[in-house]
Amino acid sequence: MSNKIQYKWDPADYAAHSIGQFTWAQELITKLNLGGDESILDLGCGDGKVTALLANRVPDGSVIGVDSSTSMVALAREIFPASTNLNLAFKVMDATHLTFQNQFDIVFSNAVLHWIPDHLAVLKGIYHSLRPGGNVLLQMGGKGNAAGILAVLNQLMFQDAWRPYFQNFTLPYSFYGPEEYGRWLPLSGLTTLRVELIPKMMAHRGEDALAGWIRTTWLPYLERLPTGLRETFISQLVESYVKLNPADDHGLIYVQMVRLEVQASRPRP
């Protein structure tokens, strides 16, 4: 992610409540046409679980995961030590300031880039990171993402008890669509292969799981609040959301998400 806005990630808590993101990453990896010897960059590697999946798919290749969070990279290195993961490495790096040159066959990213406002800077870095003929596969929150949660958040944050903490607050996520990427991909030098918005349903196993997801992924809202009030805010958010979207017969609570999926390539000379 970008280093322009730094949030205080709790890596272990995030790892425990990111099953939705991990499941989508598994689905996304199946869209890669891998031969087993590719060099891959995982952009926004987080705790490294997805990066390790990629490394397993390229036993004769190599994978580097980068993330702007030093704590996330530290956790990834702890879980997947270099001594036993010979084709896997992790680096602290800002996605808007990639320093690689002509190094990778594939650049991959899942559930990350909506944290970054300047996607053109990211795409230009991806272009330079790829070898000519290399491919890009990205998935992120897109236009319309998590609209139900956002609607409840917008109502809650302007209640009298919470309004003082959200003065001059603007949506911190960059939920873009095909219109923006249709302009940015050519400007970055990449060739567009596919850009589409894909609705996806995220299921949470009860209110505690929903609260855990909110606590670990909606940091721009929570970090506006004093530490002692955050759980109260989360509890009120979950209660309000569940009233509008009750659990099904299996106890699952659903959140409608929208993913922006992008496939592109770096042209050969």
Exposure of 255 in the CB half-sphere (CA atoms within 13 A): 28
Is residue 200 over pLDDT 70?
yes
pLDDT in tens, 70-82: 999 999 999 999 9
Is residue 18 over pLDDT 60?
no
Q: State the average pLDDT for the chain.
A: 93
Confidence of residue 2 (pLDDT cuts 50, 70, 90): very low
Distance CA 108, CA 171 (A): 25
Fold of 11-145+173-205+257-265: Rossmann fold (3.40.50)
Distance CA 163, CA 160 (A): 5
Mean pLDDT of 235-240: 98
User: What Å distances lie between residue 77 and 46, 172, 196, 208, 239, CA to CA?
Assistant: 11, 29, 33, 29, 37
Is residue 37 over pLDDT 60?
yes
Q: Supply the pLDDT for residue 139.
A: 97
Is residue 249 over pLDDT 80?
yes
Domain chopping of the chain, boundaries: 11-145+173-205+257-265
> By percentage, how much of the chain surpasses pLDDT 90?
86
Mean pLDDT of 181-199: 98
**One-character DSSP codes across the chain:** --SSS-----HHHHHHT-HHHHHHHHHHHTTS---S--EEEEES-TTSHHHHHHHHH-TTSEEEEEES-HHHHHHHHHHS-TTT-TTEEEEE--GGG----S-EEEEEEES-GGG-S-HHHHHHHHHHHEEEEEEEEEEEEBTTTTHHHHHHHHHHHTSTTTGGGGTT-------B-HHHHHHHHHHHTPEEEEEEEEEEEEEEESHHHHHHHHHHH-HHHHTTS-GGGHHHHHHHHHHHHHHHS---TTSEEEEEEEEEEEEEEPPP-
Is residue 4 over pLDDT 70?
no
Among 73, 80, 18, 41, smallest CA distance to 218 is for: 18
Confidence of residue 1 (pLDDT cuts 50, 70, 90): very low
Is residue 8 over pLDDT 80?
no
